[in-house]
Amino acid sequence: MSEPNKLLEVKNLRTSFFTSENEVKAVNDVSYYINEGEIVAVVGESGCGKSVTQMSVMQLVQTPPGKILGGEVLFEGKNLLDYKSKSKEMQAIRGAKIAMIFQEPMTSLNPVYTVGSQITEVIRRHKKCTKKEAWEIGVRALGDVGIPDPEARMKNYPFEMSGGMRQRALIAIAVACNSRLIIADEPTTALDVTTQAQVMELLLHIVDTMNTSLLIVTHNLGLVSRYAQRIYVMYAGRIVESGTTEDLLTRPAHPYTMGLLKSVPKLEERQGEKLIPIEGAPPNLAKLPEYCSFYPRCPYATEECKAKPAPELRSVDGKLHFKACHLETIPEEGR
Amino acid sequence: MLTNKSETLLQVEGLKVYFPTKNKVNGEPVVVKAVDDISFTVKEGETFGLVGESGCGKTTAGKAILRVLNPTDGKVIYKGRDIAKMPMREIKTIRRELQLIFQDPYSSLDPRQSVYSILKEAIVCDRKRHSASEIQERVEDLLRHVELDLSMSDRYPHEMSGGQRQRLGIARALACNPKLIVCDEPVSALDVSIQAQIINLFEELQSKLGLTYIFIAHDLAVVRHIASRIGIMYLGNVVELMESRELFNNSQHPYTKALLSAVPTVDYYEEKNRKRILLEGEVPSPLRVPKGCPFNPRCPKATAICREQKPELRETSSNHFTACHNI
């Protein structure tokens, strides 16, 4: 296999929010990439900066209070951070080349316009075509995402659709614009399990057939194990571990990832088996320590972890598996 | 686990909760059958899980059991007395034994009351005399039970994290020395690492205080972990009732199987080998429940009889009940 092409590469991205008192470091030196045709997941708990990272890539961070302080976002050979948020170049990419799907589809669709008018608006913005052509592209896209009777559905308002259907309509916009990359921020969290499976299978199908890459941002490790090829785990604004899905789920190397895996209830498990939670709560991003931010909750932490500055990502196996942890080895069952 | 020897604490028989609507079809008013004839028993000291997707009636069932909602029909027998038809005055005397914990602790706690005041309100609602020092002692006792720091008692809900707020919600429910707690999605709003802490707390409190839970959730893995028996609900009906250890390997209803396969697991190798059953369509509106088996339009195994006749819940293997014609 030849070296796969990197579609998006983010280097040393830093985004902070400034309050009257202090600086909240939401994204703290984050680097990642996604190859063409790949499905990558960014996993983390609420407040870890996973969504702000994606908003920064799309330059959708509200300024002020937010500010992208530095880094590079390389997409198709260009650094997107060179463009202003409201520039023509950025607008040509946002929504077309890179599409974004949010958790709550009701809030990302305008309630007073029909779904059809919202889809055609995006199509006409990015493609040279007449209203009628745009409408036809829209109908086809709705059909492609598995909405029955797309002609009639185009005339529906968002409230006339179910949650799953609304999410499909948003995916249809990405399909209609032939997006190269779909960033899905918690795409199925608001949906029921059976609908969640349908939406994920649809996204998988789109990646397989349409030369698209997919970046899933989620807190759901299960979702990731089923669909993603590579995973980045975020904690307190940093990536603490990355690697293939197999690496992370079968040989987790960072204590945080290990903790997450142990705290999820399994479908098949003997009665009486206890969950092992991660003690404590995530840190306040405004008051991050100089040392490893997981130190206060880490069951394996040593004096050394507190003395040294926050650890950098380093390779675990010389290949794709990286971790940001000072510890060389972690005892198998040492708690 | 206390299962076989212990006694039945709560028995639900043919519980129905219907909501009338203003709509009419052919002159007949349309009725939303939110809970349509469900029956199950809960033994003392056990955890009974109710699972289903949104709109299946699990929350309505929980509320009807506590008489927060008045059931349309059916019996809810608690300690030998039928709560479903009891006059409100009598309900008040036993309500302290039946408590409710909600999904979103933020909206179920008064933002203008401190932790101390929230707990005090629950403690003094028995209308007995309490001295200030008794209340103080009891508040501290409750905080210790839910592993909250004693210094938290001056805080307000907005100064607490989601996990801490849920602990406070639990402490408030415990203030009345309850026997039965209906937990409605108590961990769904929490992050994974915090979720595990709260699940463990539920289990510890159960063994320490001999509590009985009805645990309502949509997350199969969570319910499987905490409950000893599980009822699967679909469109107001219980379609399968079983020991939770049977869920993974021996579930029989096609809906349960589809639900199981839709839940991704974190076990990498297992996930690679699992067969996925993808259901067609979505849950129909409870205004238009299909004729026959409510699941028949989405069921991969539906036959003619499924479209005509509604299946009864019957024992399909030992202590395992399924409502399906094809088993």
A to B CB pairs, distance under 8 Å: 131
Whether A269 shows a pLDDT value over 70: the answer reads no
Structure confidence by residue, pLDDT tens digits, A214-240: 999 998 888 888 899 999 999 999 999
The per-residue pLDDT for A271 is: 53
Smallest CA–CA separation between B268 and chain A, in Å?
A: 6
Of A250, A263, A271, the CB nearest to B193: A263
Smallest CA–CA separation between B127 and chain A, in Å?
A: 37
Domain locations along chain A: 37-58+84-228, 238-323
The per-residue pLDDT for A194 is: 83
Residue of A nearest to B257 (CA): A194
Say yes or no: B193 contacts chain A, CB-CB below 8 A. yes
Which of A25-39, A189-203, B161-175, B223-237 is predicted with the least confidence, judged by mean pLDDT? A189-203
Say yes or no: B28 contacts chain A, CB-CB below 8 A. no
Q: Domains (ranges, CATH) in chain B?
A: 8-97+178-322 (3.40.50.300), 111-177 (no CATH)
Residue of B nearest to A258 (CA): B193
Residue of A nearest to B276 (CA): A197
Asked if B180 contacts B172 with a C-beta cutoff of 8 angstroms, the reply is: no
pLDDT band per the 50, 70, 90 thresholds, residue B3: very low
Asked if B53 contacts A191 with a C-beta cutoff of 8 angstroms, the reply is: no
Residue B222: its chain A contacts at CB < 8 A?
Answer: 265
Residue B218: its chain A contacts at CB < 8 A?
Answer: 192-193
| Percent of chain A scoring above 90 in pLDDT | 37
Strand partners, B96: none
Gyration radius from chain B CA atoms = 21
Comparing A71 with A271, the larger pLDDT belongs to: A71
The per-residue pLDDT for B1 is: 41
Smallest CA–CA separation between A73 and chain B, in Å?
A: 29
**What is the average pLDDT across A293-298?**
91
Q: At B20, is the secondary structure helix, strand, or coil? A: strand
**What is the average pLDDT across A57-85?**
88
**What is the average pLDDT across A16-21?**
88
The per-residue pLDDT for B38 is: 92
The per-residue pLDDT for B268 is: 82
pLDDT band per the 50, 70, 90 thresholds, residue B2: very low
Which of A37-41, A59-63, A68-72, B140-144 is predicted with the least confidence, judged by mean pLDDT? A59-63
pLDDT band per the 50, 70, 90 thresholds, residue A27: very high
Say yes or no: B192 contacts chain A, CB-CB below 8 A. yes
The per-residue pLDDT for B173 is: 93
The per-residue pLDDT for A270 is: 59
CB contact under 8 A, B194 and A277: yes
Residue B276: its chain A contacts at CB < 8 A?
Answer: 197, 201
**What is the average pLDDT across B190-202?**
89
| Percent of chain B scoring above 90 in pLDDT | 48
User: Which amino acid type is present at position A185?
Assistant: D
Tokens for A127, please give them.
């493609």
Four-CA torsion A223, A226, A231, A233, nearest 10 degrees? 30
The per-residue pLDDT for A272 is: 58
Whether A86 shows a pLDDT value over 90: the answer reads no
The per-residue pLDDT for B321 is: 94
The per-residue pLDDT for A332 is: 61
Residue carrying structure tokens 């009777």: A149
Per-state percent for chain B, helix, strand, coil, to nearest 5: 35, 25, 40
User: Which amino acid type is present at position B33?
Assistant: K
Mean pLDDT of chain B: 88
Whether B312 shows a pLDDT value over 70: the answer reads yes
Structure confidence by residue, pLDDT tens digits, B198-242: 999 999 999 999 999 999 998 888 999 999 999 999 999 999 999
Structure confidence by residue, pLDDT tens digits, A117-155: 999 999 998 888 899 999 999 999 998 888 888 898 999
Strand partners, A275: none
Whether B298 shows a pLDDT value over 70: the answer reads yes
**What is the average pLDDT across A279-306?**
88
Asked if A258 contacts A275 with a C-beta cutoff of 8 angstroms, the reply is: no
CB contact under 8 A, A265 and B225: yes
pLDDT band per the 50, 70, 90 thresholds, residue A334: very low
Of A46, A201, A250, the CB nearest to B191: A46
- What pTM does this model have? 0.86
Which of A258-272, B84-98, B203-217 is predicted with the least confidence, judged by mean pLDDT? A258-272
Whether B175 shows a pLDDT value over 50: the answer reads yes
Give CA–CA dist A101/A187, Å, rounded. Answer: 6
In terms of CATH architecture, what is A37-58+84-228?
A: 3-Layer(aba) Sandwich (3.40)
The per-residue pLDDT for B5 is: 53
